[in-house]
Structure formats: C-alpha cells, structure tokens
C-alpha cells in the first residue's frame, strides 16, 4: 500500500528546511535578475491574520514563486504596519499598553504567516514601531520640511469625536470616520500638512504611463479631481482693496451671474458685511460652523437652502451690474476659493437658492436650435444644466449667438486682457494633514521655541523616541497624550539653547507606509534610510499587489512621497511601483464576512484541517483573483482530492522514463503549460488550477500509471500554489536541490500546444452556423459557452432560448432553440 499524502507532515518538514537553508533570504547586493515582489504589509491586529490578508498574500506569493521558477531572484519582503489608530484602539479596547500588545501581535502574525508558507525574506522584516525604522520616517518629515513641502497651519480639520483625533480627507468615508464609523465633525486646529497639492498635476499625468489596474487609476483620477475653467475677480463696492475671487468651470455663463455666495469660513465675511446685516451674518456663521461635516455636505444636496445677505455688493465684470453677496453653508471653503458666482439658470443649487431668496435668474446659454426667436425674458422652471455640444449664448451682449465652447475661451481671454481673470485649473485633492493628536505614532521631529519658532530636530539627534506614557488615552483637548510626559516635552532649543518644547503630535500612520518598500532592501543599514546602490538595483517595485481600498490613501501618498524624495535628490525614480494590480474580495456562502455575523473564516482552523497548500489553492480557485469569490467550505475538499491524486501519480508508484504515451497527451501537456504560464502571468489563477486538474485527469485516464515526463512538469506548475507539496514531490523525483532554487518552470512547444485544439462544428437547430476552435477534450459547458459567444450563432438564435444541446466531444455541438 502506497504512502498517503499527509499535508501537515509535509508542510512542517519543508518550512523547517526552508528556514535552515535560508532559501528565501535574498543576496540583496549579489543577486542577478532581481524581481521585487511586494504586497501590502498588514497591520497586526490582536485577532490575528485575517483571511483577507491570506487571500491577498497568497495571490502575491504565487506571482513571486512563479517568477522565481522562471529564473528570477525574487525578493519578497514582509513587515508590520503596527503604528496608528487602528492598533491603538485595539490596545485601548483590551486595556493593554500598545508597547506590550503590539510585539505580541506581531509574534502571532509571524507564526501564522510562516505557517502559510509564504516565501518571505524574514531577515528583512520591518516593524514601523521600532526606533530603527521610524528614525527614518522622521528623517523623511525633515526632508520635506526643509524642501518647503511640510507646513504647520491652522485649518478646519475633520475631527472624529470617538477616536478623538483629526482625520485626513481620505479617511472620511461618507462623512464618517473610516475606522469607527462615527460622524466626523469640524475643528479648527494647528496641524501639519504635506503639500501634496503641489504634485496634483504630476500625480495625474503619470497615471498615463504607469502599469496599474485601470479601476485604481480611475479612483485616483477622480480623487485628484482636476477641472478646468477660470478664476474670476469681482470688485466689491466700497472695498477697492479687496477682490472676490471665484473659480468656475463655466466662464461662458458669466453674464448670468446674478449674485455671489461665500462659504461661512471665508475670511471676507466679517470684513464686508454691512452694519445693518452684521448681527444676522454673525448668527448664521456661528450656526453653520457648529454643524458637522456631514450636515454641511448634505446642505448642498437638499432643495431647501439657507443663507444670509451680507448687505455688500459686487460688480459683475461683464455686465457691470451690482449683485448682492450672500453667505451660505452649501458653499464649502474646500472647493475653489471658498466663494462662488451664483448662476441660477445653469446650476441647480444656485437655482434653488435664488428661487428661495427671490434673486434674479437669467438664461444665458441655450441649445442652438432655439436661438432664432428666443425670448430674452423667458422664465425657467428648473436650472438648465444639460451641457450639449450645440449650445450658444444669449443675454450675453456681444457674445450672443457665440457657441458656448468658443465663448469659454473668448470670455476667459477678455477677462485676462482686462486683468480680471485668467484660465485656471482646480483640483479636488487637498493637502495631506499628517499630524495626529494621538500616542501611537512617531513623534513629529520639531521643537517649538518662543524665540526661534519652529525648529526642526537636527538629523543627528534622530530618532525622537516615543516615550512610554502610561495613560495614552486621547482626550477632548485636541492636544496629544505626549504632552503628559514632562520629560519628553521639555527640551533645549537646538538653535538658541533656551528652554523649548517638543511637538506633541505624532505623524499619520500613512506616512509610515508611504515609504516602507524603500526600507526593505536596506534594513541592515542604520546610517541611511535606503542604500543608493541597492535602491537602484531593486526599485521601483516590479509587482505590487494589494487592495483597492488603498487607492486614494496609501497608493496616492506613497506616489507623492516618492516624487518628493526624487525631487529632493534622494531617489533616481519618481514612481514607486512599475506595476500594480488590485485583488478582489472574498465573501462566505454569499455573505460579507464580519465579526458580528460570526462568519469570518479563521485561517488557522482550515490550515490545521486541510493544510496550507490546500487552503492557499482553494482561495485562488474561488474566482478570478482580481475579482474575488465566494468561500464555501465543501469546496476545499475538491482541492484536497486533487492533491491526493497528484501525490498518488508521482509518489504512488514507479515512474517510467519514456516520453508521454500518446501524441494527444503530449499535446495536452504542452497546451496546459502554455495556458498555466499565461494564466499565472495574468493573475488568472482559478483557470490555471482548472487546467491542471483537467490535465491530470487526461494523464491518468482509465486509472493508468503516469510517466515521469507526464507529471514532472505538473509538479512544477503546482509549485507556486502548493509549494510544500511540490518540494516533497520534487525531492521524490530525485532532485537534491529545492524546486525554487533553479529555473524549474516547464517550457512548451508552441506547435504542440496548438495541435491540441480541434475544430468543432456549431449547429443551431441542426444547421451549421459556425466552426469554433477549442481545446481537445473541452467540456460541453465550455464548448457551449464558446458557441454562444459566436456572433453568427447569436444571429441565428434570434432571441430564442436553448432548450436542448447535443454534444459530440471534439466534433460537434447542436443547439436546439425555441
């Protein structure tokens, strides 16, 4: 009786062997054909490795192992994103200090990750909470500060009342805190900002050439939110020194601007309000500022608007009319200049506002075919906002009859000539607020001196070590817990030597992750953040795989930091990741996984029961990796059976040395190698697995014993998915060296691969309508799908349904339709 496949025994053996032989520890300086395979490092929660982590990492690990088998030296590092609110909230919840909790979590994560058999170079693991790491996070802050890209300023910021900290705009989802879902409010606080807006256009332009998932690029484009139009200056009557600047995408509607509206925070509000209106304006502004961000954004969407007249008037630069200046909460300081020109005929919100307050409404753009006989005093029932190709101006003086597209250029040009405006580009993206009034992060390395103001900590004094603060719970004060450590905050000013105070804010955890991939190749260097030569050799990252939820956070920030460091002379490239692919998400039995539903897949349980190889492979079998799939426990057994059969075919008996028994089988082998190679390269792991299963069925048809030439390539092909099983079988095939040590990936003969295809006649109701090429042995379902995709077949089905299928394998399919 042949020996049975025991996944746990095999996996234990090979994990130990890999450790001992240091198989995945890369010779960073000596490696040739380097390939940097990166995945998004996890934050080590107390609950341990999430199945979502395993899904993401498995797909990335398969890609890395595939490259390794093809002869690359693959560097696959891992680390822990262990600073930040998420980790800190866990510590608060459990009542354990993060300095105690986090190392414990990391230890647990490390054990779980090792158990999954990922090919990590553990010597180069990074823990961002270690001073040897965050010393360089602080160094990066200093470089940006010196480069004029970091700035402290008072600003309305998003404040989470539950997390008791500010949030970046990117961390506010639908007006709620991304971490705890509490509604976010506004606060005015001194904050540190990175000027990512200086890079808005470049961040946008480079999307044209970087090889990323299209949907991720789209999310970034939307977030950057470029719009083109004009800045227009309006004179304010009685204030010759002040001009009210607005940004509009529709300068062609300027003749229809019949009022102006300022955001309640606009600095002019208090200065231009007339005495008669001052009390009303003050009251309105006070109420508006007390509203939280959610309500403010809602104010823009609701029909009912609120506002107050400042009593001041501006002059419309093209009509020279006096128009009133209002304050209303639907105008946000964060868009444009915090002021708008009200064009009620062509903007819904302005229309609602004008209707409510009895402000004039004037149509200025209409469809060209309505131009003849247009009545200039026509009334509108609703704003006319449709923007078609064929529009012309009316009620617009010398621009009457001019097509809108041309009017945009001409009016902008006229404004520019008059010194009253200019072509302008506006971006939705805002500067990145990086300060957090929390404990668990790298202290921002600056010192406040009464005499010298803000003084950066000298680089040689880094790191500014995060002190142990017993009570690290944040409070309402808006001042971080570091202020509670007298020992920490009181310091000598590096400039004048006088008494000074350290900054008590820590930096956003997204700053830690904005550069971690630069650190991996240089973890053993304590004199530099990243070694120049190694960086040149390994970066930019060759393949980065991660979740799309990071499209506008981590992925945008790391691009910005890379560009900034490039411009400051520290990096030879400006984009961090050559290639990025997002992975899909998995659900369980049709439902989203969540703790409250109690349906979360706990990786440890499955690994114990089926082994890591089966768990890994099953996760990849659920669906296309970039789309995700539905986890059902019974499905994993199918993978286990497949592995039993692979084991049985290789380890179960004597393997002859002859070539594949038949031409058909040989052709099938080459076709399978071709398909699996292409599928893995394209992250189509599910179809690669299906092709290998099918091939094994063919090789063992009728229960025949397989030959070595038939199964050895299969062992190599399963290696990225089931690395332990593949190693064991490789050894049993007589190889002394690890399958991952050489270029073991099988090659194929194109001609043979194509020979495994057959022509299949496709009939509709018994009449030949098409011929399709399919893989020999393709199933009825596969052939039927391919047939239905044929245009000629669709034409002859004429909307009817297939009621019956007649299938002759490799020859014919007849679709009976009614």
Q: CA angle at residue 768 from 764 to 773, to 5 degrees?
A: 100
Other Cβ atoms within 10 Å of 190 Cβ, number: 12
Helix (H) or strand (E) holding 760: strand 757-764
Q: Which is nearer to Zn ion, 10 or 167 (CB)?
A: 167
Among 8, 46, 289, 493, binds Zn ion (CB under 5 A): 493
Report d(CA 353, CA 332) in Å as an integer.
15
Q: Which residues neighbour 776 within 8 Å (Cβ) at sequence distance 6 or greater? A: 664, 667, 668, 671, 756, 757, 758, 810
* Stretch touching Zn ion by CB under 5 A, among 115-123, 276-284, 401-409, 450-458: 450-458
**Least distance to Zn ion, CB of residue 333, Å:** 23
**Least distance to Zn ion, CB of residue 129, Å:** 21
Report d(CA 111, CA 245) in Å as an integer.
59
Q: Which is nearer to Zn ion, 492 or 759 (CB)?
A: 492
Under the binding rule (CB under 5 A), the answer on residue 452 touching Zn ion is: yes
Among 423, 428, 495, 700, binds Zn ion (CB under 5 A): 495
Return the residue matching tokens 């980790």. Answer: 87
**Least distance to Zn ion, CB of residue 453, Å:** 8
Report d(CA 310, CA 192) in Å as an integer.
33
**Least distance to Zn ion, CB of residue 105, Å:** 20
**Least distance to Zn ion, CB of residue 84, Å:** 12
Report d(CA 10, CA 15) in Å as an integer.
9
**Least distance to Zn ion, CB of residue 162, Å:** 4
Residue 100 tokens read as: 């105690």
**Least distance to Zn ion, CB of residue 452, Å:** 4
Q: Which is nearer to Zn ion, 449 or 739 (CB)?
A: 449
496-515 residues near Zn ion, rule: CB under 5 A = 496
566-605 residues near Zn ion, rule: CB under 5 A = none
Alpha helix segments (H runs only) across 735-790 = 750-755, 780-789
Q: Which is nearer to Zn ion, 56 or 160 (CB)?
A: 160
Q: Which is nearer to Zn ion, 285 or 449 (CB)?
A: 449
Q: Which is nearer to Zn ion, 91 or 699 (CB)?
A: 91
**Least distance to Zn ion, CB of residue 498, Å:** 5
Nearest to 778 by CA among 815, 809, 814, 812: 809
Report d(CA 189, CA 160) in Å as an integer.
13
Q: Which is nearer to Zn ion, 182 or 662 (CB)?
A: 182
Q: Which is nearer to Zn ion, 177 or 415 (CB)?
A: 177
Residue 289 tokens read as: 């500022």
Return the residue matching tokens 């073991």. Answer: 744
Q: Which is nearer to Zn ion, 452 or 604 (CB)?
A: 452
Which contacts (CB < 8 Å, 24+ apart) does range 89-95 have?
Answer: 89/163, 89/179, 89/180, 90/45, 90/46, 91/440, 91/472, 92/472, 92/473, 94/46
**Least distance to Zn ion, CB of residue 180, Å:** 3
Nearest to 179 by CA among 190, 189, 171, 187: 171
Return the residue matching tokens 């089988």. Answer: 665
Phi, psi (rounded to 5 degrees) for 631: -80, 120
Report d(CA 772, CA 789) in Å as an integer.
10
**Least distance to Zn ion, CB of residue 177, Å:** 3
Return the residue matching tokens 């002869």. Answer: 71
Among 4, 104, 451, 641, binds Zn ion (CB under 5 A): 451
- In the shown chain, the binding pattern of residues 530 to 569 toward Zn ion, with x for contact by CB under 5 A and - for none, equals ----------------------------------------
* Stretch touching Zn ion by CB under 5 A, among 74-82, 335-343, 494-502, 690-698: 494-502
Q: Which is nearer to Zn ion, 84 or 603 (CB)?
A: 84
Write the DSSP assignment of 226-251 as a string of letters. Answer: -EEEEEEEEEETTEEEEEEEEEES-G
- Coil, helix or strand for 547? coil
148-187 residues near Zn ion, rule: CB under 5 A = 160, 162-163, 177, 179-180, 182
Among 449, 506, 593, 622, binds Zn ion (CB under 5 A): 449
**Least distance to Zn ion, CB of residue 181, Å:** 7
Count interface residues toward Zn ion (CB under 5 A): 13
- In the shown chain, the binding pattern of residues 393 to 432 toward Zn ion, with x for contact by CB under 5 A and - for none, equals ----------------------------------------
* Stretch touching Zn ion by CB under 5 A, among 134-142, 445-453, 587-595, 655-663: 445-453
Nearest to 607 by CA among 118, 121, 61: 118
Phi, psi (rounded to 5 degrees) for 665: -65, -40
**Least distance to Zn ion, CB of residue 183, Å:** 9
Report d(CA 163, CA 796) in Å as an integer.
62
Q: Which is nearer to Zn ion, 106 or 446 (CB)?
A: 446
* Stretch touching Zn ion by CB under 5 A, among 205-213, 448-456, 462-470, 688-696: 448-456
Contacts with Zn ion by CB under 5 A lie at 160, 162-163, 177, 179-180, 182, 449, 451-452, 493, 495-496
């Amino acid at each position: 009786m042949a020996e049975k496949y025991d996944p746990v025994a095999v996996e234990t053996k090979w994990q130990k062997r890999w450790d001992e032989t240091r198989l995945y520890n890369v010779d960073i300086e000596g490696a040739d054909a380097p390939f940097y395979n990166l995945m998004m490092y996890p934050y080590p929660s107390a609950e341990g490795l999430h199945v979502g982590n395993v899904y993401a990492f498995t797909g990335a690990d398969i890609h890395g192992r595939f490259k390794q088998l093809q002869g690359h030296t693959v560097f696959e590092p891992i680390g822990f994103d262990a600073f930040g609110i998420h980790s800190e909230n866990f510590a608060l919840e459990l009542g354990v200090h993060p300095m105690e909790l986090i190392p414990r979590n990391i230890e647990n994560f490390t054990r779980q990750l090792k158990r999954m058999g990922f090919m990590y170079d553990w010597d180069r693991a990074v823990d961002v909470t270690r001073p040897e790491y965050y010393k360089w996070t602080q160094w990066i802050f200093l470089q940006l500060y010196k480069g004029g890209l970091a700035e402290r300023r008072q600003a309305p910021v998003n404040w989470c009342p539950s997390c008791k900290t500010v949030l970046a705009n990117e961390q506010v989802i639908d007006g709620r805190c991304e971490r705890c879902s509490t509604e976010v409010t506004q606060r005015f606080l001194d904050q540190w900002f990175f000027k990512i807006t200086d890079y808005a256009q470049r961040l946008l332009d480079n999307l044209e050439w970087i090889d990323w998932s299209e949907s991720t690029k789209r999310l970034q484009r939307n977030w950057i939110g470029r719009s083109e139009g004009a800045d227009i200056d309006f004179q304010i009557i009685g204030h010759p020194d002040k001009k009210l600047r607005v940004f509009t995408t529709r300068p062609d509607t300027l003749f229809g601007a019949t009022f102006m509206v300022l955001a309640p925070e606009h600095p002019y509000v208090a200065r231009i309000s007339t005495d008669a209106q001052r009390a009303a304006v003050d009251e309105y502004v006070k109420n508006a500022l007390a509203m939280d961000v959610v309500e403010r954004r809602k104010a823009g969407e609701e029909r009912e608007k609120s506002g107050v007249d400042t009593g001041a008037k501006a002059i419309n630069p093209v009509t020279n009319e006096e128009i009133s200046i209002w304050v209303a909460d639907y105008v946000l300081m964060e868009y444009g200049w915090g002021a708008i020109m009200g064009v009620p005929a062509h903007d819904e919100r302005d229309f609602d506002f004008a209707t409510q307050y009895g402000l004039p409404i004037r149509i200025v753009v209409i469809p060209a075919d309505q131009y003849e006989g247009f009545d200039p005093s026509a009334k509108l029932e609703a704003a006319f906002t449709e923007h078609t190709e064929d529009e012309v101006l009316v009620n617009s003086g010398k621009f009457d009859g001019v097509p809108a597209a041309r009017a945009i250029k001409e009016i902008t040009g006229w404004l520019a000539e008059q010194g009253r405006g200019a072509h302008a580009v506006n971006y939705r993206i805002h500067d990145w607020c990086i300060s957090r009034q929390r404990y668990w992060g790298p202290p921002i390395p600056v010192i406040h001196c009464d005499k010298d103001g803000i003084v950066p900590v000298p680089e040689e004094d880094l790191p500014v070590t995060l002190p142990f603060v017993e009570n690290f719970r944040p409070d309402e004060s808006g001042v971080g817990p570091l202020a509670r450590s007298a020992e920490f905050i009181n310091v000598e000013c590096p400039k004048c030597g006088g008494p000074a105070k350290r900054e008590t804010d820590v930096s956003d955890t997204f700053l830690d992750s904005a550069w971690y991939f630069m650190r991996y190749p240089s973890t053993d260097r304590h004199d530099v953040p990243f070694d120049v030569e190694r960086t040149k050799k390994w970066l930019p990252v060759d393949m980065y795989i991660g979740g799309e939820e990071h499209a506008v956070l981590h992925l945008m920030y790391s691009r910005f930091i890379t560009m900034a460091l490039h411009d400051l002379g520290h990096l030879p490239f400006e984009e961090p990741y050559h290639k990025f692919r997002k992975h899909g998400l998995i659900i369980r039995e049709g439902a989203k996984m969540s703790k409250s539903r109690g349906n979360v897949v706990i990786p440890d349980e499955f690994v114990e029961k089926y082994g890591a190889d089966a768990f890994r492979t099953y996760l990849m079998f659920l669906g296309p990796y970039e789309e995700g799939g539905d986890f059902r426990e019974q499905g994993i057994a199918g993978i286990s059976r497949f592995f039993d059969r692979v084991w049985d075919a290789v380890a179960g008996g004597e393997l002859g040395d002859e070539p594949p028994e038949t031409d058909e089988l040989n052709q099938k082998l080459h076709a399978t190698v071709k398909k699996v190679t292409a599928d893995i390269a394209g992250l189509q792991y599910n179809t690669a697995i299906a092709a290998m299963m099918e091939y094994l069925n063919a090789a063992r048809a009728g229960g025949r014993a397989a030959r070595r030439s038939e199964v050895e390539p299969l062992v190599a092909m399963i290696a990225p998915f089931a690395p332990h099983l593949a190693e064991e079988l490789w050894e049993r095939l007589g190889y002394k060296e690890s399958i991952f040590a050489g270029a073991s990936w099988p090659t194929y003969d194109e001609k043979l691969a194509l020979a495994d295809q057959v022509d299949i006649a496709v009939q509709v109701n018994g009449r030949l309508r098409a011929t399709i090429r399919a893989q020999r042995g393709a199933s009825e379902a596969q052939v039927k799908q391919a047939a239905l995709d044929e245009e000629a077949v669709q034409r002859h089905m004429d909307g009817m349904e297939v009621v019956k299928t007649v299938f002759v394998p490799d020859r014919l399919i007849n679709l009976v339709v009614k």
